[in-house]
Amino acid sequence: MTNTLSRFDIDSMEQRYRANLINSLSGFKPAVLLGTTDGQTHNLAIISSVVHIGANPPLLGMIMRPHTVQRDSLGNIKKSGFYTLNHVHTDWVDKAHQTSARYEPNESEFDAVGLTPLLSDDFPAPYVKESGVRMGLKVAQHFTLINNTEMIIGEIQELHVDEKHIAEDGYLDIEASMSACISGLDSYHSTTRLAQFAYAKPNTDTRKK
Amino acid sequence: MTNTLSRFDIDSMEQRYRANLINSLSGFKPAVLLGTTDGQTHNLAIISSVVHIGANPPLLGMIMRPHTVQRDSLGNIKKSGFYTLNHVHTDWVDKAHQTSARYEPNESEFDAVGLTPLLSDDFPAPYVKESGVRMGLKVAQHFTLINNTEMIIGEIQELHVDEKHIAEDGYLDIEASMSACISGLDSYHSTTRLAQFAYAKPNTDTRKK
């Protein structure tokens, strides 16, 4: 049985209650660590707002909140133009969540939570060594949305991935590589594949791959 | 072991291979059905690009591709300003995927795949009756991104949800309500909760809720 809540019901909710509920409605979200640096301190922040924008050129978007714990990461991105995105694995979701604590600007979340910065000669932002799916991105577009959150779109410059998880058709098995997902603000999940389907056609039964 | 792929490697990939790979990189994505209408034909389209924008006011974003099978849905949204988002359940992911077939504009995906349009007196777009988490949205912002995809941000006007899945703090247990997630373009997954964590604080161990 479903209950119907009106906009008035939602607007009348206690603030924290509403935040938990509305953050659950967008469905399962990717668990990703955002790596940035100011040249001295390497910053790490859990984000769940990564969204696919396009494959050619390879573009990913993310939504950032400028007046929250994400402030330092956002400042680093604005200054340098570069950042990394690193999949969180199911066996260290606790460390990933801990990056959401409000550390001092000169304190590295890498050190605080026990993850290892991986620095490459070719890319000016720190990767997470423990992650099996790592991307280095350069800001391609950046703007402010209606509610004063900011959207950053980045172009993938470099990709670290275990090629044994890439299928013949290019699909990356992120379940086999132990990527985690998030619901709401603080719930972490592993996944189980139900099916992979072939390209759908009208008047043809849905076929598994 | 991870392999490093450069931007040149990515740009050199065969188009379909690259699409599969890059679509996997954003991590797990929500499985959501977009309901729209032109007043005669009720349209339904699977989307995996829904992203949380804000809780107060309650805003969700999504990325749409104007020159694909999403064209009819996008046209309906532009004309009417209203649409619904409905969580896909793990026991009918095949029907949800089948909505991605290229049906004629006057053919309803509801009928074609065997899902039921739910019409409300208070809201001008069709919900999916079989879904346990349904939202009615009104367009709040709409713009074109760098690669000519379109971002639509909608304000939630109405929410249908089973209140037994809402925790005391407002968290909606979308795993208990059988919401599915997607990886890549065509892989569907159920989830298993690993942990739900308390608000993280510096110099304090990560605590489960």
Given a cut of 90, whether residue B122 has pLDDT beyond it is no
Residues B53 and B10: their CA atoms lie apart, in Å, by 30
Helix (H) or strand (E) run with residue B125 in it: strand B123-128
Residues of B in contact with A20 (CB under 8 A): 167, 169-172
- pLDDT at residue A137, as a whole number: 98
Are the C-beta atoms of B205 and A113 separated by less than 8 Å? no
Q: Residue B164: how many CB atoms within 10 A of its CB?
A: 10
pLDDT tens digit sequence for B7-27: 999 999 999 999 999 999 999
Burial bucket for residue B17 (CB in 10 Å: 0-12, 13-18, 19+) = middle
pLDDT tens digit sequence for B34-52: 999 999 999 999 999 999 9
- pLDDT at residue B69, as a whole number: 87
Q: Average pLDDT, stretch A126-132? A: 98
SS3 B11: helix
Are the C-beta atoms of A34 and A99 separated by less than 8 Å? no
Residues B116 and A193: their CA atoms lie apart, in Å, by 26
Given a cut of 90, whether residue A34 has pLDDT beyond it is yes
Kindly state the tokens that stand for A29: 């979200």
Report the residue of A51, A89, A91 to disrupt the B interface, i.e. the one with the largest count of B CBs within 10 Å.
A51
Q: Average pLDDT, stretch A19-38? A: 98
**DSSP-assigned beta bridge partners for residue A118:** A127
Omega of the bond leading into A117 within 30 degrees of 0 (cis): no
Q: Which residues contact B131 (CB under 8 A, 6 or more apart)?
A: B33, B86, B87, B88, B89
Residues of B in contact with A98 (CB under 8 A): 200, 206
- pLDDT at residue A122, as a whole number: 85
Given a cut of 90, whether residue B2 has pLDDT beyond it is no
Q: Which residues contact B56 (CB under 8 A, 6 or more apart)?
A: A11, A15, A18, A19, A22
Are the C-beta atoms of B138 and B154 separated by less than 8 Å? yes
ipTM for the whole complex: 0.97
Kindly state the tokens that stand for B23: 């679509």
SS3 A118: strand
Listed by start position, the domains of chain B span 13-189
SS3 A79: helix
Give the A window 79-118 contacts with B, CB below 8 Å: 87, 90, 93-95, 97-104, 107, 112
Task: Inform me whether the C-beta atom of residue A135 falls under 8 Å from chain B C-beta atoms.
Answer: yes
Task: Inform me whether the C-beta atom of residue B180 falls under 8 Å from chain A C-beta atoms.
Answer: yes
Give domain A17-189's CATH number out of 2.160.20.10, 2.30.110.10, 2.40.10.230, 1.10.10.920. 2.30.110.10
Residues A204, B112: C-beta atoms closer than 8 Å: no
Residues B153 and A207: their CA atoms lie apart, in Å, by 33
Kindly state the tokens that stand for B186: 């065509």
Residues of B in contact with A187 (CB under 8 A): 171, 175, 193, 195-196
Are the C-beta atoms of B31 and B180 separated by less than 8 Å? yes
Residues B183 and B105: their CA atoms lie apart, in Å, by 28
Residues B94 and A205: their CA atoms lie apart, in Å, by 9
Superfamily for B13-189?
Answer: Electron Transport, Fmn-binding Protein; Chain A (2.30.110.10)
Reference B47, options B87, B90, B103, B92; nearest CA is: B87
Are the C-beta atoms of B158 and B123 separated by less than 8 Å? yes
Size of interface A-B (CB pairs under 8 A): 375
pLDDT tens digit sequence for A39-81: 999 999 999 999 999 999 999 999 999 988 889 999 999 999 9
Q: For residue B179, what are the CA distances in angstroms to A53, B83, B182?
A: 23, 19, 10
Residues of A in contact with B7 (CB under 8 A): 58, 156-158
- pLDDT at residue A121, as a whole number: 85
- pLDDT at residue A2, as a whole number: 87
pLDDT tens digit sequence for B161-188: 999 999 999 999 999 999 999 999 999 9
> DSSP states of A17-77 as a string?
HHHHHHHHHT--EE-EEEEEE-SSSEEEEEE---EEEEETTEEEEEEE-TTSTTHHHHHHH
